[in-house]
C-alpha cells in the first residue's frame, strides 16, 4: 500500500498551515508520525512543491516527492496530485501498488491505530474504498436552515423529530483517511467509489483544519494531550 501525504505551500484559509506549530510540532509532523508508527510507514511519502515543507518532512523522517508547481494551485484536483505521486513511486519501486492511502495533514488528531484499522477494512473486505467519518450530532441536517427572501426555511423537511437522540444516525467525512484500490485512481480517476466502507472515528479525533480557529483548537487539544502524558 502506498501512503501519500499531500502538502503544498499555499493555503487560503490558514497561511503556511503545514509548517505552523501545533501542539509543539509542525502541523505536518503529526501526520508523518502517525503514518510511520503504522504498519504502512515503510511506503509513506510527502508530496510537495515547497522547499520548507520538504525540509520539515525529511527532518521528521519521511521521503519526499517533488511535486511540479502546476500541481500546487488552489484549483488543482487532488486526483491529479495522487496520480503524479503514484507514477513517481511506482517508477522508484519498479512495481505497482495494490492500494493507495491519502492522509491529509489537516487532520492531525488521527492515530496510527486508525490508519491500521482503516487499512484492514479495505484489505479484509469487499470494499473498493474506505473513508473515515464521525457521527453527526449538533450539526445534523434536521437542525439546519436556509435563508430565502429573508426568512428561515428548513434545509431538510424529512426529519420532524426534535430530540437529538431520535434523529436518524448520519456520518460526516472528517478528512483524516482515504484508501482505495489502485484501479479507482488509474482507471476511474477518483479516490473513492464502488463499494465504499466507513471507518468510524470519534469526534475527538476528527478535527479538520480549515481556518485559524480550527488550528487553535488542534493546538489546544494536542498540547493538552501531551501534558496529560507527561
Q: Is residue 36 part of a domain?
A: yes
Q: Is residue 230 part of a domain?
A: no
Q: Is residue 77 part of a domain?
A: yes
State pLDDT tens for residues 146-179: 899 998 888 877 665 556 666 788 899 999 999 9
Q: Is residue 155 part of a domain?
A: yes
Q: Is residue 130 part of a domain?
A: yes
State pLDDT tens for residues 112-127: 999 999 999 999 999 9
Side-chain-facing half-sphere of 159: CA atoms under 13 Å: 18
Q: Is residue 214 part of a domain?
A: yes
Domain count, the chain: 1
Closest CA to 105 of 11, 184, 7: 7
Q: Is residue 109 part of a domain?
A: yes
Who's near 204: CB < 8 A, 6+ residues apart?
Answer: 109, 221
What value does the mean pLDDT take over residues 85-92?
96
CATH of the domain at 197: 3.90.550.10
- pTM confidence score: 0.90
Q: Is residue 54 part of a domain?
A: yes
- Note down the domain range covering 22: 2-225
Amino acid at each position: 500500500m502506498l501512503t501519500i501525504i499531500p502538502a503544498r505551500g499555499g493555503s487560503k484559509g490558514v497561511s503556511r498551515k503545514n509548517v505552523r506549530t501545533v501542539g509543539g510540532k509542525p502541523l505536518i509532523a503529526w501526520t508523518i508520525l502517525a503514518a510511520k508508527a503504522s504498519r504502512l510507514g515503510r511506503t509513506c511519502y510527502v508530496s510537495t512543491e515547497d522547499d520548507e515543507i520538504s525540509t520539515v518532512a525529511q527532518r521528521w523522517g519521511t521521503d519526499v516527492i517533488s511535486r511540479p508547481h502546476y500541481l500546487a494551485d488552489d484549483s488543482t484536483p487532488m486526483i491529479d496530485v495522487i496520480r503524479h505521486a503514484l507514477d513517481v513511486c511506482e517508477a522508484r519501486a519498479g512495481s505497482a501498488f495494490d492500494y493507495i492511502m491519502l492522509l491529509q495533514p489537516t487532520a492531525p488528531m488521527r492515530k496510527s491505530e486508525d490508519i491500521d484499522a482503516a487499512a484492514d477494512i479495505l484489505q479484509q473486505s469487499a470494499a473498493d474504498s474506505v473513508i473515515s467519518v464521525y457521527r453527526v450530532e449538533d450539526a445534523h441536517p434536521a437542525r439546519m436552515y436556509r435563508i430565502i427572501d429573508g426568512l428561515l426555511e428548513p434545509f431538510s423537511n424529512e426529519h420532524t423529530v426534535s430530540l437529538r437522540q431520535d434523529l436518524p444516525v448520519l456520518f460526516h467525512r472528517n478528512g483524516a483517511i482515504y484508501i482505495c484500490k489502485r484501479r479507482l485512481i488509474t482507471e476511474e480517476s477518483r479516490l473513492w467509489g464502488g463499494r465504499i466502507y466507513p471507518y468510524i472515528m470519534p469526534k475527538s479525533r476528527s478535527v479538520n483544519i480549515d481556518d485559524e480557529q480550527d488550528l487553535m483548537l488542534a493546538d489546544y487539544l494536542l498540547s493538552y494531550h501531551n501534558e496529560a502524558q507527561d
